[in-house]
A and B are shown apart, each in its own frame.
Chain A
Amino acid sequence: MNWLELSVEVDSEAVEAVAEVLARYGYNGGVVVEPAWTPGGEGPEFSYDTTRPSVLRTYLPLDGQAEETRQRIEQALWHLGQMRPVGPLQTRALQEEDWANAWKQHYTVLRVGERIVIAPSWLDYQPAPADVVLHLDPGMAFGTGLHPTTRLCLRLLEHYTRPGQQVLDLGTGSGILAIAAAHLGAGQVLALDNDPVAVAVAAENVARNGVCDRVTVAEGSLGAGAPMGHWLSGGSGPPEAAAPGDAVPGVGRFDLIVANLIARVLMILAADLAAALAPGGVLISSGILETRTAEVEAAFASAGLRLLERYAEGEWVALVHRRDGH
């Protein structure tokens, strides 16, 4: 799909008013503000510079309506321009390719935990003897190893994966955690995701890492998760195509489950996760904001899981639970 990017330079006091106009016409009501800022000495500090203009952008699908919409925005900005300075409206055609791959040039080899090394599939990497190397192209799926929740899960997988284990990676995204588990010695890994884009990306990454014999990628989820659809859909959608997955896993089967999801979904799935674990099995869960940790822990406790460990990185938390019994 092609897009039209509209941008305009305005002084800091006019930002809100111009953003309001752009939000009225832009795709999904979305507006980008690139404020002027100045670094504050060393490190990550900065302050906004209100003496210089900000750039505002919005996007329109490049279809039959685009030109008419552009003219409306231009008119509305002209009226605002009578009251305070507003720069000319600039336009630029944009292809999805331009941004879908733009981030790749910045992505480098990344070391996580003690042994795991994530190497972008388009870079050469010479591993050290003890390295566990994941060759990865996350494409448009979640999981580059840069996000704190992914890093927490990788470290915990390093610690909890045992040779020959049956592993479930729920919400696999790029497949990063499933592949890590396979490289760390797991017997069989089932990698599930409700997002067909993620399933395709994960399957490619599994093939790239030569672990097809141990990792099965499929569209689907556990019990209550199957009808939820892709998490971007809001999760409460109609139980349409609950694609009665051959993939939907059996009960009491997994020695290790890793679920890097979000708090709400983890709570909905608590009972299903507990049921999917073999007695003595371990659940690694993440994607949990610090503020919601107590709720998730309560849901897991009432599903009969016992908390073993809690780790935090920044405002994100990962939990380790065990299903007791023999």
Chain B
Amino acid sequence: MAKKLVGVVKLQLPAGKATPAPPVGPALGQYGINIMGFVKEYNEKSASQAGSIVPVEITIYSDKSFTVRLLTPPAADLLRKAAGAQKGSGTPNRTSAGQITRAQLRQIAQQKMPDMNALDIESAEKIIAGTARSMGIRIVD
């Protein structure tokens, strides 16, 4: 009997510092997997990236086993770093939080490619540019 996939959840967590507190507990408890099992595995895998937010993809199977795969940093984090901005704009349609160049945009798109549903680098760039706009980060030539 092939084991069946019952859930896919992505979490954004501080590397090496996950605990059973929210969001981990409520997000995974509902699928019936052992929370400390996930916490231990995530912290061990992300330990070398301490200080960053490291997203993770958890796939959960019908026998309650699960796999843990680390993903690339959130596009928002990469954009913030590239723009030298502390945070995104709370009112992106009005105020700017900073700017990045086309070259920086391409670099971020390349870094994010493995985890994106983009067919090619151009469509990846388009998605990242969309994220930048909604954070109030402008793209300049």
Residue ranges of A at the interface with B (Cβ–Cβ < 8 Å): 3, 5, 12-14, 16-17, 19-21, 23-24, 26-35, 37, 39, 42-46, 48, 50, 57-59, 72, 75-76, 79-80, 82-84, 94, 96, 98-100, 102-107, 138, 140-144, 146-147, 173, 231-232, 234, 262-264, 287, 289
Contact = CB atoms under 8 A, between A and B. Distances in A.
Contacts of B55: 33
B100 interface: no
Interface in B54-90: 55, 59, 61, 64-65, 74-77, 80, 87-88, 90
Contacts of B117: 12, 48, 50
A103 B32 contact: yes
Nearest to B134: A17
B9 A33 contact: yes
A177 to B, nearest CB: 14
A31 B23 contact: yes
A102 B10 contact: no
Contact of B23 (A57, A72, A80): A57
A196 B86 CA distance: 38
B93 to A, nearest CB: 5
Interface in B32-63: 32-37, 39-41, 43-45, 47, 50, 53, 55, 59, 61
A14 B134 contact: yes
Contact of A44 (B5, B50, B133): B5
Contacts of A289: 44-45
B76 A147 contact: no
A103 B11 contact: no
Contacts of B25: 96, 99-100
A173 B90 contact: no
Contacts of B65: 146
A146 B37 contact: yes
B113 interface: no
